[in-house]
Structure 1
Amino acid sequence: MKELINKAFSIGLGLAVASKEQVEKLVDELVKKGEIKKSESNQYVEELVQKGNMAREEISQIVEERTRQLIQSLNIATKDEIKELKERIIELEKSKENL
């Protein structure tokens, strides 16, 4: 059972959305079934929570990269590009006033 949970959570998504409380409940069930020892349970919980945090970070990076690619493919201006254009407009207006 422990190996099955490790394989399932290695996919990442399930672990990424699982809260620490959910992981603790799952590990408590494994302890009750004798799949893991009580002395190992805290370490196993921390390991699963850490894997969840890593999976969450990886998913976040993937979403960010895909979003960036989508914006580029749709030819949508970014905040930085808009800010740069505003600054250029202000400079042009100032130079026009000085003429």
Structure 2
Amino acid sequence: MKNVLNQIISLGIGAAVASKEQIEKVMNDLVAKGELSKSESKEMIDNLIEKGESVRKDLDDLVKEKVQQTLKEMNFVTMDEFRELQIKVAQLEKKNE
């Protein structure tokens, strides 16, 4: 049982980067060895995939936030700011014609 828990913990840690197929393979191996039932395996697969997707989303959000912060610190303009400047330049050009 301790071995099963260690495998599940390792699987949980790697769930954020593991594919569904990899998770299913490990769980199927545990079922084949009789260490888990099929229903326990299905439940754990669903939970690990859900947690992995949640971690992936959180990581994506963090990366986006850090990129935006870095761009701001480097004084880069956003696309919205650039479009506003394009509109202002076009208005000034039209005004000066």
Give the TM-score of the pair, scaled to structure 2.
Answer: 0.83
- Cα 1:5/1:84, change in 2 over 3 Å: farther
Distance in 1 between residues matched to 2:11 and 2:62, nearest whole Å: 18
Distance in 2 between residues matched to 1:20 and 1:10, nearest whole Å: 12
Letter aligned with residue 69 of structure 1: Q
How far the C-alpha of 1:51 sits from its partner, in A, is 0.9
How far the C-alpha of 1:32 sits from its partner, in A, is 2.5
How far the C-alpha of 1:16 sits from its partner, in A, is 2.0
Distance in 2 between residues matched to 1:2 and 1:94, nearest whole Å: 73
CA RMSD of aligned residues (A): 1.8
Aligned residues between the structures: 95
For 1:83, the equivalent position in structure 2 comes to: 83
For 1:39, the equivalent position in structure 2 comes to: 39
Identity of aligned residues (%): 39
Which blocks of at least 5 consecutive residues in structure 2 are unaligned? none
Residues 1:54 and 2:54 are matched in the alignment:
yes
For 1:69, the equivalent position in structure 2 comes to: 69
How far the C-alpha of 1:66 sits from its partner, in A, is 0.6
